[in-house]
Structure 1
Amino acid sequence: MGAQQVRDGFEELYGTAPEGVWAAPGRVNLIGEHTDYNDGFVMPFALPHTAVAAVSRRTDGVLRLHSADVEGGVVELRVDELAPGADRNWTAYPSGVLWALREAGHAVTGADIHLTSTVPSGAGLSSSAALEIVVALALNDLFSLGLRGWQLARLCQRAENVYVGAPVGIMDQTASACCEAGHALFLDTRDLSQRQIPFDLAAEGMRLLVVDTQVEHSHSEGEYGKRRAGCEKGADLLGVDALRDVPYADLDAALARLGDEEEVRRLVRHIVTENERVERVVSLLEAGETRAIGPVLVEGHASLRDDFRISCPELDLVVDTALASGALGARMTGGGFGGSAIVLAEEPDVDAITKAVTEAFATAGFTTPRVFEAVPSSGAHRLD
């Protein structure tokens, strides 16, 4: 749905034209999984799939929300009654953003909002972060708050952590707000320093495929929280602020100090090695050795499967089949327990890999996967 359709939908709902239309993308994480809540390194890029919002200000303390993607009419809320845990529907994402802005002292007095999104839900591609960032950017512009992308990301993370109740890190919101077309974002999640790394696969004759397994995952369910708690326990046992502070060169010594804490040892090993993998991918891309990142992606998948233990049969089947069919590299991406995998391939091999993965899913009795090309795209911006 384009900007004009969203604008028209807003006018039909609310009887007047919106003050503007904004878009914010979903993201794919190239490398750096579950490192963001450990103060580590990540490397996402924005998808062309976006959440789009038509928005107008209100001054009467009313928030009206509507989604073209959800059954039902306009939801009306009072901004002074917004509270964490009170909303368990899709509306928690946009209303949580308004709550977070007001809690931070910003005078946001209400809004009319009409939303739609092409970011696949439950696929590990940050559909919720896209919804949050598009609303945050619109309110930032309309109420002249003067907040920068990283500040909006922080507020949206707080909205999802506290208001929605999902213990997510900072990567998804920062990627949606700050990515640039043709680049991956090298992000230090401790201080939010960032560097845009050129990532133009088409110019080098390659493609990056996203394979949505159609197995939905949910951040607010328990396994994600267990991994996060285990990482925090590991940091406590090692006497560091976060696992980011364990140098790769000291990993063996750190693991030895953890003794018989086998589960914590596995989690620590993944985080420390994953941070090293992010830095390796950055170095390879900056050196123009893009094809050489393929084996690093495969290493990352093995670590997520064996140490972090958040893969699933469908994700493993994508990776194994793609590699057997000539892919340069592949790994699961996102929170895990479903969602999507990414496949790096030479352009001539894309069709054969797609066919092989689809046939492998059929043979295994799995739901047919959705396969599409991921093109590094622009972060959040105003459309109209």
Structure 2
Amino acid sequence: LKSMGYSQIQVQLSDLSKKPEEEGTSTALIRGIAAKFADMGVSLSGWDAYSTSEVLSGSGLSSSAAFEVLVGTIIDQHDNGGKAGAVEIAKIGQYAENVYFGKQSGLMDQMVSSVGGFVWIDFADTEKPVIQKHTFDFAQAGYCLCITDTKGSHADLTPDYVAVPTEMKQVAAYFGKSVLREVSAEQFRKAIPQLRKTCSDRAILRAAHFFAESERATAEAKALEDGDLSAFFALVRESGTSSAELLQNLFSCQKPTEQAIPLGIWYSKQFLGEKGAVRVHGGGFAGTIQAFVPVEEAEAYCQCMNQLFGKGSCHKLSVRPMGGVRV
């Protein structure tokens, strides 16, 4: 596979074992995806591909998930008759990222990239996630989704990302559970004084974010379904505040003086006032922010962000209704 602007990658299908020296590389992702398909009994015949992309690498726009879905979709279509489908391809991408690439990502980025559109996902059973697609048209409603790259790289922030699920699982372990989804919000609230004896304050705050955010996601989906944009924006703002105060993923503790995301959010709020909404985008700590901006003000907003973070930082996007597909 040759991606424009990057070196060519070659993977020998005769050896799909994990290579420690490949951890953190695109080669590891391709090898891991191919290995998973092979484990599923798919006979791999190999292919050559050239790819181009407008997804910003290492900026919180799920570039690794998009890449995994691309490779998974090619293999599924080329060697498997398209039998795996979007959900399975997402899980295969997560496997490659966890086992071969060496990053303990969840399944959300891969699932959204693979399924496409606005989606509400329930991960209670990660083997069979419940997915609901929403087709709300923000452009028709008079708003544009703007993503601004604050120019902070995600490349060296793996410890920050890993700490989030690790700390949440520490809280879950207090209740004898593996993940917080298996704990009720009421159980959690009642146990907070005792939790401080075994978990850090930050872990407790992050768990509090989890419970509130789970409820918010469902409420956001309902707001879109009802066409209630003001309710949706209010929930997005609440979510952003919770990310800042509870999840604490707006900047890295490793680099406390580098706070481009908080700066971008504050600057955006000065521009938007009571209109639309702005919050951190993706995993946070560095990278991008998202803003829902009135269409008539989108160009001025982008100019404002470009002045702050450099030319080409702000992008006006639309949400593609489909994920990985063969054209």
Q: Smaller-chain TM-score range?
A: 0.7 to 0.9
Q: Return the offset for 1:370.
A: 1.1
| Residue of structure 2 equivalent to 1:351 | 299
Superposition pairs of residues 276-315 of structure 1, within 5 angstroms = 276-312=215-251, 313-315=259-261
Indicate conservation of the 8 Å contact 2:68/2:93, yes or no: yes
Q: Return the offset for 1:219.
A: 7.8
The runs of 4+ residues in structure 1 deviating greater than 6 Å are none
Indicate conservation of the 8 Å contact 1:213/1:370, yes or no: yes
In structure 1, what residue type is equivalent to 2:250? S
Superposition pairs of residues 89-168 of structure 1, within 5 angstroms = 89-145=25-81, 146-168=83-105
| 2:52 counterpart SS class | strand
Cα RMSD after superposing both structures: 2.1
| Residue of structure 2 equivalent to 1:376 | 319
The structure that is strand-richer by fraction is 1
2:22 to 87, 110, 116: 87
Indicate conservation of the 8 Å contact 1:137/1:380, yes or no: yes
The structure that is helix-richer by fraction is 2
Say which is worse superposed, 336-345 or 321-330, in terms of deviation: 321-330
Q: Return the offset for 1:122.
A: 0.8
Tell me, yes or no, if structure 1 residue 318 matches structure 2 residue 264.
yes
In structure 1, what residue type is equivalent to 2:159? G
| 2:104 counterpart SS class | coil
Q: Are residues 110 and 355 of structure 1, via their aligned partners in 2, closer, same or farther at CA, if it must alter by over 3 Å? A: closer
Q: Are residues 254 and 207 of structure 1, via their aligned partners in 2, closer, same or farther at CA, if it must alter by over 3 Å? A: farther
1:328 to 263, 276, 281: 276
Indicate conservation of the 8 Å contact 1:325/1:352, yes or no: no
Q: Return the offset for 1:240.
A: 2.9
Q: Return the offset for 1:250.
A: 4.9
| Residue of structure 2 equivalent to 1:203 | 140
- Report % sequence identity: 24
| 2:49 counterpart SS class | strand
Indicate conservation of the 8 Å contact 1:214/1:368, yes or no: no
What CA distance in whole angstroms lies between the structure 2 residues aligned with 1:207 and 1:75?
A: 36
What CA distance in whole angstroms lies between the structure 1 residues aligned with 2:300 and 2:9?
A: 46
Q: Return the offset for 1:105.
A: 3.0
Q: Return the offset for 1:352.
A: 3.6
The count of corresponding residues between Structure 1 and Structure 2 is: 309
What CA distance in whole angstroms lies between the structure 1 residues aligned with 2:9 and 2:221?
A: 44
Please list the CA deviations of residues 42-66 of structure 1 after superposition, one character each: whole Å capped at 9, or x if unmatched: xxxxxxxxxxxxxxxxxxxxxxx32
Indicate conservation of the 8 Å contact 1:82/1:95, yes or no: yes
Structure with the bigger RCO (C-alpha within 8 Å, sep 6+) is 1
Indicate conservation of the 8 Å contact 1:246/1:254, yes or no: no
Superposition pairs of residues 12-31 of structure 1, within 5 angstroms = none
